[in-house]
Amino acid sequence: MTALPHLETLSLRHCRFDGPSLKRPIAQMHHLTSLTLIISLLTTRRLELRQYNRFEELKNVAEILQTLAPVLIKLEISGDLIDLWMFESTEWPNLSTLRLVDHVPYSFFRPITAVVSHMPILRTLACDFKAEQTPRSSFIYCPLDNHAYPPLSKSIPNLISLSLSNLQPGDQSVQQLPSGLRVLRVVALRDPHIYSIGDLEREPRYNYSALSDDDAYLWINAASKLPYLSRLTLDLKSVPSPEILWHIARACPQLQFLELEQASFEQNWNESPDSVLDRLVTPLTSLPQLRELRMSVELGPALVWVDAIRQRLPSLAFKARVQTVSMLFAAKLQNLEFLGFSALNRERMTYGRDSIWYMLKIIRNEDGLSARVIDPI
């Protein structure tokens, strides 16, 4: 307890807060600037086996946040633990980073412009909610009839990094982007499927949403008006097309990082011919500053079934194709340093997703070009 007044960072993971109030010990943390309160999917599922007081938990967490609000600089918290009205009614004079994770809050919906209305110096906002098996209301970050609050571009004009997940029809976020953004992420996130890869059954994920091609064009057009944008991530319903890549290259020629992932890529076992892959690289040559590229590309099955051990193992053919394709990309993208391709993952619960990035580092020296795997399947 004697160390509490000097504590600067506190991270509590896989915890529930429906017990006694923590207000008194929290009040002693005068120098705390970074707070993380995270639950996990497994923790959430264990609640089905025992009773817990959700309303008491929301009250206790609200006390913690209201006590620390004057000093916090960084906050990462599960949506399951918060009441959005509390954020709106509390002053956050020093908060520069807010990351909301796990699930959409149970509480009444509030637009994101209301949630951040008392965060005058916010620089990073991540609403990385995951779609889940249990039905819960969809989250529309910027509704059409949000007349009581200024648009996102005016409510948090100093924002430099924005991440939004599972965008729903009618959301107006694309029209309200702050002009100073350097990082923009529009992603599709979900709880992991817990069945093994061999199982065909799929639980639904409510409000899981990636961008159609038409939606992607809207976001790319909006990104073209962001002069400082250097990192762009878009999760798409389909694999990236040459047309999408040309549009990005013309709209955002200053990009240093580009990530284009097909949502539910683990269900895509197609293999594109080399001619199609070449058409994917050509538009990217118009991005002279591109240092890192992550993209869902159809390279065939990443895993193969081995009868002798009754497991799926990484495919040698896939690994060989990755090496070949990486050389094609590296040869034409002369400043590229890191390259990642979507690949089916063996350890779903470990990574929390069905597909991962098979990452390579591009090596350029007097011996020529090579690629070294830095993050395997």
Q: How confident is the model at residue 196 (pLDDT cuts 50, 70, 90)?
A: very low
Q: Which of 15-24, 45-54, 300-309, 367-376 has the highest mean pLDDT?
A: 367-376
pLDDT at position 352, please?
54
Q: Write the pLDDT tens digit of every residue in 248-295.
A: 999 999 999 999 999 888 778 888 888 888 899 999 999 999 999 999
Q: Is the pLDDT of residue 200 over 60?
A: no
pLDDT of residue 349: 42
Among the listed residues 37, 35, 142, the one whose alpha carbon sits nearest the alpha carbon of residue 97: 35
The CB density around residue 61, as the number of other CB atoms within 10 Å, is 22
Strand partners, 99: 76, 126
Residue 41's identity, in one-letter code, is L
258-285 in b/e form (b: 16+ CB < 10 A) is bbbbbbbbbebeeeeeeeebeebbebbe
Tokens representing 209?
Answer: 């949403």
Taking only the tens place, the pLDDT of each residue in 93-152 is 999 999 999 888 876 678 899 999 999 999 999 999 988 877 777 788 998 877 778 889
Query: What's the mean pLDDT when you consider all of the chain?
Result: 86
The torsion angle over the Cα atoms of residues 184, 190, 195 and 200, rounded to 10 degrees, is -90
**Encoded tokens for 359:** 């990452």
129 within 8 A of 100, measured Cβ to Cβ: yes
- Residue for token digits 């960072």? 9
Tell me the pLDDT band of 53, cut-offs 50, 70 and 90: confident
User: Is the pLDDT assigned to residue 212 strictly greater than 80?
Assistant: yes
C-alpha 71/C-alpha 84 separation (Å) is: 19
8 Å CB contact between 228 and 262: no
Bridge partners of 262, per DSSP, are: 236
Q: CB atoms < 10 A from the CB of 287, how many?
A: 21
Distance, CA of 125 to CA of 313 (rounded, Å): 38
Q: Looking at residue 57, what is its pLDDT?
A: 86
Q: Is 187 exposed, middle or buried (0-12, 13-18, 19+ CB in 10 A)?
A: buried
More confident residue, 216 or 56: 216
Residues near 318 by Cβ (< 8 Å), separated by ≥ 6? 299, 300, 301, 302, 303, 343
How many whole angstroms separate alpha carbon 13 and alpha carbon 60? 16
Distance CA 231, CA 314 (A): 30
The Cα-based distances of 280 to 84, 154, 186, 313 in angstroms read 42, 37, 21, 28
User: How far is the C-alpha of 93 from the C-alpha of 72, rounded, in Å?
Assistant: 8
Confidence grade of residue 55 (pLDDT, cut at 50, 70, 90): confident
Question: Residue 108 in contact with residue 84, Cβ under 8 Å?
Answer: yes
Torsion sign over Cα 291, 292, 296, 302: positive
Residues in contact with 325: Cβ distance below 8 Å, sequence separation at least 6, in sequence order: 277, 297, 299, 341
Residue written as token pair 């350029």: 364
Band (195; pLDDT cuts 50, 70, 90):
very low
Q: For residues 351-366, b (16+ Cβ closer than 10 Å) or e, as one string?
A: ebbbbbbbbbebeeee
Q: What confidence score (pLDDT) does residue 265 get? A: 84
Q: Give the residue with greater pLDDT, 361 vs 138.
A: 361
The arithmetic mean of pLDDT across residues 308-331, rounded, is 87
